[in-house]
Structure 1
Amino acid sequence: MHPSESAECTRFRLAIDLLAKPWSGQILWILQGGPLRFNELATQVEGIGEKVLSARLKELECQGLLVRRVLPTTPVRVEYELTEAGRGFRTVVEAVTRWGEQIHACRQD
């Protein structure tokens, strides 16, 4: 951390860096609807390759935003579900949408 950078700025930068990665926001948004299996996610995140999806899911899991569950079925199934922190992304989307509406309203004046 830069000596003059506050902890708040550091946390903000970390969040922006995470969301700036392609597909991260879309994955978080899609999982707001509930747990999904890998193939279900791959279908809903149009245009993403399996390698990239796998990498993003691992990153989001490491950040504590989702959990990976191995279900004891035959064949074995794996599903991904948001944690409480991951579900908090909905608040971020709503806030940014409201801000975007304000910006849009100013541009039309």
Structure 2
Amino acid sequence: MSNERRMSTFSHIDDAQCRSFQTTAELVGRKWTAGILLAGVLGARRFIEYRARVEGISDRLLTQRLRELESEGLLNRHVVPSTPVQVTYEPTERAVGLMRALHPLVQWSVNDQAE
């Protein structure tokens, strides 16, 4: 792809869109965040399921990331008043859309590693 053609592909992106993208990239780029989102869209719901699917994450950091993702509107937290209390986390449509948008990046990284 020529440099001119490459530039025209991105010429419609304004400063506000760039800032929005930067915010999203920083959120997803935090350690463990992408793994947590992937675990959620693959079916994890309870804390222990997230911990099992995201190997190596500490309980403290998983709790922190789950709260961040909830505050960003990417996870819904549900508390079931039972004994003991059950807490589940479910990805929102926004999270599913984000993971769909990241899929080409995942494919790129897999293909890049294979070369």
* TM bucket, shorter chain: 0.7 to 0.9
State the Cα deviation string for residues 12-55 of structure 1 (Å, max 9, x = none): 10011001110000000010023511111111110000000000
Aligned to 1:32: 41
Q: Could you give the per-residue CA deviations for residues 30-85 of structure 1, whole angstroms, max 9, x where no partner exists?
A: 10023511111111110000000000011101100001110132211100001110
For 2:73, the aligned partner's letter is G
Letter aligned with residue 88 of structure 2: E
Q: Which residue does 1:87 correspond to in 2?
A: 96
Query: Are residues 12 and 44 of structure 1, via their aligned partners in 2, closer, same or farther at CA, if it must alter by over 3 Å?
Result: same
Aligned residues: 101
Of the two structures, which has the highest relative contact order with CA contacts closer than 8 Å and spacing of 6 or more? Answer: 1
The Cα of 1:98 is off from its aligned counterpart by 4.7
Provide runs of 4+ in structure 1 moved above 6 Å.
Answer: none
Contact 1:70–1:78, Cα closer than 8 Å, also in 2: yes
How is 1:63-102 mapped onto 2 (pairs within 5 angstroms)? 63-100=72-109
Whether the 8 Å contact between 1:35 and 1:82 is mirrored in structure 2 is: no
Question: Residue 23 of structure 1 corresponds to which residue in structure 2?
Answer: 32
Letter in 2 for 1:40: E
The answer for the alignment partner of 1:10 in structure 2 is 19
TM-score, normalised with respect to structure 2: 0.77
Instruction: Indicate the percent of aligned positions where both proteins have the same amino acid.
Output: 37
Aligned-pair Cα RMSD in Å: 2.1
Provide the rounded CA distance (Å) in 2 between the counterparts of 1:26 and 1:37: 15
Structure 1 counterpart SS, 2:70: helix
